[in-house]
Amino acid sequence: MSALRRSALVVCLLAVCAVLAWHILRAQVWPRGSVSVSFVGFTNSASGAVSAEFALSNGFPRGLVVAAGAVQVRRSKGWPTVSVYGHPAGPVFTVAPNTAQGFAIRLPKVDGALWRVPLSCEKVDTRVEQWTERVKTALGFSRPGSSLLLTNTPVMRGVSDQTGARTETRRGVQETNQTP
């Protein structure tokens, strides 16, 4: 290999390393945007079970993988502290950037109780970001769980008899989480 080719190869490798180092050190964990969860209504399945319907809007420039947890019922000491991450009890779905996706959660008996559904959202990384994350982990710069956004559906008051939605249970409620 000639000296000129060797020099060109070294310059190219240095340029690639510089770009990757810049990307690793300057990359944002979450781009600017928001996630909004709205209550849509109640529905009955063919078996007669009541489900609550929600719509999740993704205001981020990236796709999100969303996992729904089990319905949480508020107790006298507050909300349960059960984590959704790694243990989804409800649907897991992907929401494209700047779009909305509907989902339904089967309700247990929640007679008059306050309830909600915890949601965890994780951004869909590009191949370059996946590779960069591997390098950051190998170098000790990675922050575990840093790409996770936790939110909840709006707090709802239960259905009284599990036979369908009554008029007073239909509400246009919404919860929004924004990143700084």
Query: Three-class SS of residue 115?
Result: strand
Asked whether residue 24 is domain-assigned, the answer is: no
Asked whether residue 4 is domain-assigned, the answer is: no
Q: pLDDT class for 45, splitting at 50, 70, 90? A: confident
**Does the predicted TM-score (pTM) go above 0.85?**
no
Q: Per the structure, how many domains does the chain have?
A: 1
Q: What is the pLDDT of residue 138?
A: 81
The mean of the pLDDT values for the chain is: 76
Asked whether residue 95 is domain-assigned, the answer is: yes
Helix (H) or strand (E) holding 128: helix 127-139
- Give burial (CB, 10 Å; 0-12/13-18/19+) of 144: exposed
Cα–Cα distance between 152 and 108 in angstroms, integer?
17
Residue 142 DSSP label: -
Which residues span the domain enclosing 54? 30-163+173-178
Asked whether residue 12 is domain-assigned, the answer is: no
Asked whether residue 59 is domain-assigned, the answer is: yes
Asked whether residue 9 is domain-assigned, the answer is: no
Helix (H) or strand (E) holding 106: strand 99-106
Interval 62-111: pLDDT, tens: 888 898 888 888 888 888 876 555 566 788 899 998 999 999 988 888 88
Asked whether residue 102 is domain-assigned, the answer is: yes
Check which CATH number belongs to the domain holding 110 and give it: 2.60.40
> Would you say residue 54 has pLDDT above 80?
yes
Asked whether residue 21 is domain-assigned, the answer is: no
Among 6-10, 136-140, 175-179, top mean pLDDT goes to: 6-10
